[in-house]
A and B are shown apart, each in its own frame.
Chain A
Amino acid sequence: MKYKIVCIFTFVLLLVGCTGERFQGINTHQSFVASMNILEPSLTFYDRQGELIANWAFEKAYTGAVLIQQDRVLLYGHQLTEADIYELSSGKKLATIETGIGTTNAYYAVDEQMIFLTNSRSNSLMRYNLYGEPDGELALRNYPMSMIAHEGLLYVVNYKDTVLSVVSIEDLSLQAEWPIEKSSHGFAIVEDTLLIGGHGEGMHSNETVKVLDLASGKELSTMTMPLMPIGFAQKEDELAVISHGSNMLYVTEPTGKPKWQLEVGANPFAVAYFNSHIIVAGYDDNKIYFIQHGHIDETISVDKGPFQLLVRGDS
């Protein structure tokens, strides 16, 4: 009898061993905000009350993540040669994409169901299908990073360059190149304008968000949001911008008219809407903040270096 138990136990252990790394699964109907922490790489999931749902601690030095559809997350690292796709409901790894070192950002174009990765080594944009299979590549300018898709076009900021590249999602062709400031980062599309944030060049700290014409790339106006506005989040009637240099959260109407502002966190890089809350991640203080109507409702300590926020709303 004892022998049987030992045999079964060993078999189960073997099975578990064969399945590879597996994290705690997240219910498909569970809405969450997830903090991508990069100093001690982990992804921590919280529900709308700020309760911890799951904590995925990684061995690999992931520096970013992006949600793909409802139940998948893609994790990449600037110093890693591959990106991994995990299933949220099972916590299992679904696929691995050979990216090569230098992945700076990942973007999921919802409408076209395409995954885009930018690479600072090859200075290129790479397209993958939902299964992580390569589907084309386009050489861009120096250090492509920030991406946003709109009506069949992908707007890519070349971080160490003064050029914004406009790429056709369908045939991966370069449509236009618009002049922008160096070290630009962070995008939002409001009606027919493109908002671009940035750090500023050299020792100069950028204090404004540039408003470009979505069709021509012409700079229409600027919104003053010091210092170094780089994080954007938006919902139908509101725009949230986080400036990490001054720890300021600016909330405006879509027209740019200020609604309120709040000093929050220490060196916050990410902002996101999650149901009725605005979530801000403080990189230096390792906290995420639940903010509503200009007040901090809740502060949650997370692992070291919260750098990105992923949000899955109610399905």
Chain B
Amino acid sequence: MKKLTTKIWVLMCSLLVATIAFMYILSNFIYEELYVSDMEQSMIEVGEKLQTMYRGGKVDDALIARIEDFNAYSHFQIFAVRNPRELSACVPFDIDYDTLIGPNEREQLLKGQTVTKVGYEKRFDRPIISVILPFTEQNRLEGIIYLYYPLTKISELANTEVGLLIGGAALFSLCVAFFIAQGLRRIMRPLHEVQQAAEIMSEGNYEARVNVASKDEVGQLAEAFNQMAQAIQQEDEQQKTFLATVSHELRTPISYVKGYSEAIGQNYMTEEEQREAIQLITREASRMERLTNELLQLARTSQEQEKLELYPIVLAETVREVTAILHATAQLKQIDISETLNEELIVLGDEEKLKQILINILENAIRYSPAESNVQITTSIVEHFAMISIKDTGIGIPKEDLSHITERFYRVNKARSRSDGGSGLGLSIVEQLIKQHKGQLTIESEVGKGTCVNVKIPLMEE
């Protein structure tokens, strides 16, 4: 009884048996209620008509014969009785024989009432429906009309074929049970497959999928399972790629540092070369430091998802502070940063994080813009958000890369050249931070023409 299929099967079979039993009881009930009462009614009608044959006085043989003649035309048995012994006339005395009617019935009949009985009658040695009508005159019970019909129960009716009936019911139940089992197996097959796929997945094989054939709830479950499996597989692959990238990114500067420091240690270099090597080592060490810092920041941002406390910030101020920080970097490439700022915008945010967002985006803009170009920062109101647009005239991002641009270590330039200096984590961090601010990030870009990064941060509600 561990399997759900077995439980459902047992339940359905029990219901089937219960239904058959209920139908049996119901049919018996209907038989009793309708058939018997209908029979009683028609017997009373016939009896009342026959009662009119009695003209008073003694019940004579002719009347009895006429009533018995009616038997030939009726489907129930009819006879008339005038023997007072049969009619319990001696009742104050001890009666040691079987009378046709008892003392209570006699009393009823004496009042002119009709007596109806359903049940076993010893006289006829079988259950019958009987109706008794009196011939009365001056309070004398001169005789009775006795109508009866054998009360054949449905079970008795089928007495000869009772084996067939039970056998048929059993066979029918078996067939239905078999079909229920088959049907259940068919319905539950996707569930089994889901279970098996889950087992395969738990062993680390994320390629397991369920074959979805139906569109019912089980089918939908299988489909949801497939989506989940795909998501897990993707996440797994991303994780692997991330680890590979991290190790790759770290290995390169480490091998530089290692190689040059060994060379310095073994005095293979001239002083000039050594100075250059030390500069190189310092640069690579800074690179590593930056990379680890960014990784740490990314990890922290993921952890601190819910903890950020937001407070009102004057956006124009923050933007100006950021451009001031990056002014020197921009100057190196002679890039001009122009600002069109709405001074009245107050957003809900964390100042440090907001600056981090803007720095990362602006750094990218400066990094990928040609010398002597222009980067524009515009702030405006869009619905309940403050929109910060940072637009450059740089190299742009190809369309196919746009949707992946915020993934960790994703770089449009797959050669992973460090000439452009990025770690591939900047936009990932930006995306996380914007999420913490309950904002939105959209990037529009066209290759060769430039990129526009739009950041929406919720305005402070007044």
* Chain A residues with a Cβ under 8 A of chain B: 38, 63, 120, 143, 159-160, 183, 185, 199-200, 202-205, 227-228, 244-247, 266-267, 269, 282-287, 305, 307
Question: Closest approach, in angstroms, between the C-beta of A148 and any C-beta of chain B?
Answer: 18
Tally of A-B Cβ pairs under 8 angstroms: 62
Report B-chain residues with C-beta under 8 Å of the C-beta of A286: 139
Q: A185-B93, A228-B90, A269-B92 are in contact. Are A244 and B141 (CB under 8 A)?
A: no
> Is A266 in contact with B140, judged by CB distance below 8 angstroms?
yes
> Is A160 in contact with B96, judged by CB distance below 8 angstroms?
yes
Report A-chain residues with C-beta under 8 Å of the C-beta of B141: 266-267, 284
Question: Closest approach, in angstroms, between the C-beta of B95 and any C-beta of chain A?
Answer: 9
Report B-chain residues with C-beta under 8 Å of the C-beta of A285: 138-140
Within 8 A of A (CB), among B39-86: 58, 83-86
| Residue from B85, B86, B94, B110 having most chain A Cβ neighbours under 10 A | B85
Could you mark each residue 92-115 of chain B with 1 if its beta carbon is under 8 Å from any beta carbon of chain A, else 0? 111011000000000000100000
> Is A120 in contact with B94, judged by CB distance below 8 angstroms?
yes
B89 in the interface, Cβ–Cβ < 8 Å? yes
Given contact pairs A199-B85, A285-B138, a sample of 19 additional A-B residue pairs in the complex whose CB atoms are under 8 Å apart? A63-B92, A143-B94, A160-B94, A160-B96, A183-B93, A199-B90, A199-B93, A200-B85, A204-B85, A228-B85, A244-B84, A246-B84, A247-B140, A267-B84, A267-B141, A284-B140, A286-B139, A305-B92, A307-B92
> Is A284 in contact with B84, judged by CB distance below 8 angstroms?
no
> Is B94 in contact with A267, judged by CB distance below 8 angstroms?
no
> Is A38 in contact with B92, judged by CB distance below 8 angstroms?
yes
> Is A227 in contact with B139, judged by CB distance below 8 angstroms?
no
Please report the C-alpha to C-alpha distance between residue A120 and residue B84 in the assembled complex, in whole angstroms: 24
Please report the C-alpha to C-alpha distance between residue A200 and residue B86 in the assembled complex, in whole angstroms: 12
We find that the number of chain B residues with CB closer than 8 angstroms to chain A is 17
**Selected A-B contacts with CB under 8 Å, 16 pairs:** A143-B94, A159-B93, A185-B93, A205-B83, A228-B84, A228-B85, A228-B90, A244-B89, A244-B90, A245-B85, A246-B84, A267-B141, A269-B92, A283-B92, A284-B141, A305-B92
Contact of A284 among B58, B85, B86, B110 (CB under 8 A): B110
Question: Closest approach, in angstroms, between the C-beta of A61 and any C-beta of chain B?
Answer: 12
Report A-chain residues with C-beta under 8 Å of the C-beta of B96: 160
Report A-chain residues with C-beta under 8 Å of the C-beta of B86: 203
Report B-chain residues with C-beta under 8 Å of the C-beta of A120: 94
Question: Closest approach, in angstroms, between the C-beta of B430 and any C-beta of chain A?
Answer: 110
Question: Closest approach, in angstroms, between the C-beta of A224 and any C-beta of chain B?
Answer: 16
Q: A38-B92, A159-B94, A284-B110 are in contact. Are A205 and B139 (CB under 8 A)?
A: no
Q: A284-B139, A284-B140 are in contact. Are A202 and B84 (CB under 8 A)?
A: no
Question: Closest approach, in angstroms, between the C-beta of B98 and any C-beta of chain A?
Answer: 9
Could you mark each residue 111-142 of chain B with 1 if its beta carbon is under 8 Å from any beta carbon of chain A, else 0? 00000000000000000000000000011110
| Residue from A120, A143, A203 having most chain B Cβ neighbours under 10 A | A203
Report A-chain residues with C-beta under 8 Å of the C-beta of B97: 202-203
Report A-chain residues with C-beta under 8 Å of the C-beta of B83: 203, 205
> Is B94 in contact with A245, judged by CB distance below 8 angstroms?
no
Question: Closest approach, in angstroms, between the C-beta of B76 and any C-beta of chain A?
Answer: 23
Report A-chain residues with C-beta under 8 Å of the C-beta of B58: 246
> Is B85 in contact with A267, judged by CB distance below 8 angstroms?
no
Report B-chain residues with C-beta under 8 Å of the C-beta of A247: 140
> Is A227 in contact with B92, judged by CB distance below 8 angstroms?
no
Question: Closest approach, in angstroms, between the C-beta of A151 and any C-beta of chain B?
Answer: 28
Please report the C-alpha to C-alpha distance between residue A183 and residue B96 in the assembled complex, in whole angstroms: 10
> Is A266 in contact with B139, judged by CB distance below 8 angstroms?
yes
- Which B-chain residue is minimally distant from A283 (CB atoms)? B92
Please report the C-alpha to C-alpha distance between residue A267 and residue B106 in the assembled complex, in whole angstroms: 12
- Which B-chain residue is minimally distant from A38 (CB atoms)? B92
Report A-chain residues with C-beta under 8 Å of the C-beta of B94: 120, 143, 159-160
Report B-chain residues with C-beta under 8 Å of the C-beta of A287: 139
Please report the C-alpha to C-alpha distance between residue A269 and residue B89 in the assembled complex, in whole angstroms: 10
Report A-chain residues with C-beta under 8 Å of the C-beta of B140: 247, 266-267, 284-285
Question: Closest approach, in angstroms, between the C-beta of B137 and any C-beta of chain A?
Answer: 9
> Is A205 in contact with B84, judged by CB distance below 8 angstroms?
yes
Q: A38-B92, A185-B93, A244-B90 are in contact. Are A266 and B85 (CB under 8 A)?
A: no
Please report the C-alpha to C-alpha distance between residue A269 and residue B90 in the assembled complex, in whole angstroms: 9
Please report the C-alpha to C-alpha distance between residue A91 and residue B89 in the assembled complex, in whole angstroms: 33
What 9 A-B pairs are tightest by C-beta distance, nearest first? A285-B139, A245-B84, A266-B140, A266-B139, A202-B97, A199-B90, A205-B85, A203-B85, A267-B89
Report B-chain residues with C-beta under 8 Å of the C-beta of A244: 84, 89-90
Please report the C-alpha to C-alpha distance between residue A82 and residue B96 in the assembled complex, in whole angstroms: 25
Please report the C-alpha to C-alpha distance between residue A309 and residue B84 in the assembled complex, in whole angstroms: 22
Report B-chain residues with C-beta under 8 Å of the C-beta of A200: 85
Please report the C-alpha to C-alpha distance between residue A189 and residue B139 in the assembled complex, in whole angstroms: 33
Please report the C-alpha to C-alpha distance between residue A286 and residue B110 in the assembled complex, in whole angstroms: 12
| Residue from A38, A183, A287 having most chain B Cβ neighbours under 10 A | A183
Question: Closest approach, in angstroms, between the C-beta of A250 and any C-beta of chain B?
Answer: 16
Question: Closest approach, in angstroms, between the C-beta of B25 and any C-beta of chain A?
Answer: 41
Report B-chain residues with C-beta under 8 Å of the C-beta of A160: 94, 96
- Which B-chain residue is minimally distant from A247 (CB atoms)? B140
> Is B84 in contact with A227, judged by CB distance below 8 angstroms?
yes
Please report the C-alpha to C-alpha distance between residue A209 and residue B86 in the assembled complex, in whole angstroms: 21
Contact of A266 among B90, B93, B138 (CB under 8 A): B138
- Which A-chain residue is minimally distant from B99 (CB atoms)? A203
Please report the C-alpha to C-alpha distance between residue A247 and residue B140 in the assembled complex, in whole angstroms: 8
Please report the C-alpha to C-alpha distance between residue A123 and residue B333 in the assembled complex, in whole angstroms: 144
Within 8 A of A (CB), among B135-174: 138-141
- Which A-chain residue is minimally distant from B96 (CB atoms)? A160
Report A-chain residues with C-beta under 8 Å of the C-beta of B84: 205, 227-228, 244-246, 267
Report A-chain residues with C-beta under 8 Å of the C-beta of B90: 183, 199, 228, 244
- Which A-chain residue is minimally distant from B84 (CB atoms)? A245
Report A-chain residues with C-beta under 8 Å of the C-beta of B139: 266, 282, 284-287
- Which A-chain residue is minimally distant from B141 (CB atoms)? A284
Question: Closest approach, in angstroms, between the C-beta of B375 and any C-beta of chain A?
Answer: 123
